[in-house]
A = this chain, B = another copy of it.
């Protein structure tokens, strides 16, 4: 029966490779290897391993040079001006622009070269998210251009060229990501690798630049607050604050300069998202993927009312709390303390709810066992690594606070609230990561799966000695691959099939499917609730509500400068974590 052959869309190349010289005996092998297959058999994958290392080392060096330039500028190194840094960034962006134009042109003229797509990469919500952030980034760029026009007399030309280049770069990059984020590049791989890795690290540098500018601004704000609170003894010097000439239209300039700093968080998110999407593109170069039928998982509002309502309550009250906090903090000592206590109590409540939701979700998973999807998936692996990696930012800050509370000699009342808050931050991230990573690794139960199992079962029973070879071929057993990625096809199906045929586990799987509707509804609500909570957690740090500074305790223990270093290192990751976990939870919600 040749039927499974047409049903399961095994890529020709993979079949050609694994069956090798057996094409005459195997009933559904392709007629003959295509030219690209020949290339592969002749060791075509060989220079690609080199290209991978060559390009990644190139990217790291570009990044390190940029980092040092930024560091030198930040510490006011002799002979390094802001224009040097901006020139470097402009050069990198122009190179990326040229490469993207070349790639887009080539992909139009030679459509046949890019046939394969990674269905997991470049999800729609990611593209929509990046477009939203890009639009705000364009507004920021226009503000910067306006600011430059206002202060044109005393700003170097690069300060005007930079936002213009950045705007063009943003426009083209978003277009590029919309059209090509799913590409699996199979030709001219070396040049592509260099281009993509260049883009990844250009975006990372632009991200670092954004973080640095934002940190400098936050630091200035904090110092201004310190003056108000009466810490006059700290040597306060506002850094890179205003140009040394007057703006031609003062009100406009002040709006621009205020607006720029409120828009920065979005630009920062935009660049980190762009670089992760480009990184997945880079990982996919030269890879062979299974032609999975993509499970369409549209977002449905139906059935998550409770979670959404609770989440929206949290979201609105967070906005209210942040507004009150920003109004009260720094006005006087008493007002600041009240604002801090209010913030901590509120945050403790929200974090406790989030922890409980996460634990309930994990318990449901323990009751309802399902096999894990172990297939190769660079986008998912990157997501999981990013979750754990960026959570480290929050953990570092929390451990800093805990250490400060333990070691401090004087404990004003409001500082005690910091202890449960910090501990809850650690636990919440811990539980939430477990929940998200387990969710995205769980097998999706679809009608498709069940059909496959039936077909395979029938074929096992009806056909004779030839059957095993078909089953071997269709159910997850082709591995020789040209790229550096092992080739795995629908491994889970054969596992499920094995358990059915083996005759055990039947009761258990029946039981779990009967539990499903109720628990699935709970899980969807939890995901929706956590999604909105993470958006809420993102608001305070992104908009300058920073109890880590205002609290004062850590500053006394670590002293100001070291604590600023820690916060400025950890905070960008912490902010990114909230965004990223929200995005992941949205995906979980769609998948559940």
User: A-side interface residues toward B, CB under 8 Å?
Assistant: 17-22, 25-26, 33, 38, 41-43, 45-46, 49-50, 53-54, 56-57, 60-61, 64-65, 67-69, 71-72, 75-80, 369-372, 374, 376, 384, 388, 391-392, 395-396, 399-400, 402-403, 407-409, 426, 430, 433-434, 437-438, 441, 460, 464-469, 471-473, 475-481, 484, 486, 488-489, 491-492, 494-495, 497-502, 504-505, 508, 556-559, 562, 566
Known: A53-B437, A481-B374. A403 touches B68 (CB 8 A): yes
Query: How far apart are the CA atoms of A133 and B280 in the complex, in Å?
Result: 40
How many copies of this chain does the complex contain?
A: 2
B75 in contact with A21 (CB, 8 Å): no
Task: Identify which of B76, B492, B498 contacts A21 (C-beta below 8 A).
Answer: B498
Query: How far apart are the CA atoms of A64 and B429 in the complex, in Å?
Result: 14
Q: Which of A72, A468, A471 has the most CB of B within 10 A?
A: A468
B486 in contact with A399 (CB, 8 Å): no
B388 in contact with A53 (CB, 8 Å): yes
* Smallest CB-CB A-B distances: 6 pairs: A21-B501, A20-B498, A469-B469, A79-B407, A477-B477, A75-B562
Query: How far apart are the CA atoms of A372 and B388 in the complex, in Å?
Result: 32
Task: Identify which of B41, B79, B437 contacts A557 (C-beta below 8 A).
Answer: B79
Residues from chain B with a CB closer than 8 A to the CB of A489 are: 479
Residues from chain B with a CB closer than 8 A to the CB of A464 are: 25
A72 in contact with B433 (CB, 8 Å): no
Residues from chain B with a CB closer than 8 A to the CB of A67 are: 396
A22 in contact with B460 (CB, 8 Å): yes
B372 in contact with A22 (CB, 8 Å): no
Task: Identify which of B80, B369, B472, B500 contacts A43 (C-beta below 8 A).
Answer: B369
A26 in contact with B468 (CB, 8 Å): yes
Residues from chain B with a CB closer than 8 A to the CB of A57 are: 388, 391, 430, 433-434
Question: Smallest CB–CB gap between A6 and chain B, Å?
Answer: 18
B407 in contact with A72 (CB, 8 Å): yes
Task: Identify which of B42, B56, B501 contacts A20 (C-beta below 8 A).
Answer: B501
B469 in contact with A468 (CB, 8 Å): yes
A79 in contact with B409 (CB, 8 Å): yes
Task: Identify which of B18, B78, B476, B556 contacts A480 (C-beta below 8 A).
Answer: B476
**Residue of B with least CB distance to A369:** B43
Q: Which of A374, A437, A478 has the most CB of B within 10 A?
A: A374
B61 in contact with A395 (CB, 8 Å): yes
**Residue of B with least CB distance to A478:** B477
**Residue of B with least CB distance to A469:** B469
Query: How far apart are the CA atoms of A365 and B508 in the complex, in Å?
Result: 55
- Kindly list 4 other residue pairs between chains A and B, CB separation below 8 angstroms, not including A53-B437, A469-B469: A18-B477, A25-B464, A43-B370, A374-B486
**Residue of B with least CB distance to A26:** B468
B488 in contact with A479 (CB, 8 Å): yes
B43 in contact with A484 (CB, 8 Å): no
Task: Identify which of B17, B33, B46, B465 contacts A25 (C-beta below 8 A).
Answer: B465
B79 in contact with A408 (CB, 8 Å): yes
B399 in contact with A61 (CB, 8 Å): yes
The 20 sampled A-B contact pairs (Cβ below 8 Å) are A18-B475, A19-B468, A22-B467, A33-B502, A41-B502, A41-B505, A64-B399, A71-B566, A77-B557, A78-B409, A78-B556, A78-B559, A79-B407, A376-B486, A465-B466, A466-B466, A466-B469, A472-B473, A479-B479, A481-B491
Question: Smallest CB–CB gap between A395 and chain B, Å?
Answer: 5
Task: Identify which of B21, B22, B433, B472 contacts A18 (C-beta below 8 A).
Answer: B472
**Residue of B with least CB distance to A47:** B366
Task: Identify which of B384, B391, B486, B562 contacts A486 (C-beta below 8 A).
Answer: B486
A56 in contact with B407 (CB, 8 Å): no
Question: Smallest CB–CB gap between A335 and chain B, Å?
Answer: 26
Query: How far apart are the CA atoms of A19 and B470 in the complex, in Å?
Result: 11
**Residue of B with least CB distance to A32:** B502
Residues from chain B with a CB closer than 8 A to the CB of A558 are: 71-72, 75, 77
B434 in contact with A72 (CB, 8 Å): no
A71 in contact with B21 (CB, 8 Å): no
A77 in contact with B562 (CB, 8 Å): yes
B388 in contact with A495 (CB, 8 Å): no
Known: A22-B471, A65-B399. A49 touches B497 (CB 8 A): no
**Residue of B with least CB distance to A63:** B392
Residues from chain B with a CB closer than 8 A to the CB of A17 are: 494-495, 498
Task: Identify which of B46, B399, B559 contacts A68 (C-beta below 8 A).
Answer: B399
Task: Identify which of B38, B41, B60 contacts A388 (C-beta below 8 A).
Answer: B60
Q: Which of A400, A403, A472, A557 has the most CB of B within 10 A?
A: A472
A486 in contact with B484 (CB, 8 Å): no
B396 in contact with A64 (CB, 8 Å): yes
B502 in contact with A479 (CB, 8 Å): no
Query: How far apart are the CA atoms of A57 and B389 in the complex, in Å?
Result: 9
Residues from chain B with a CB closer than 8 A to the CB of A437 are: 49, 53
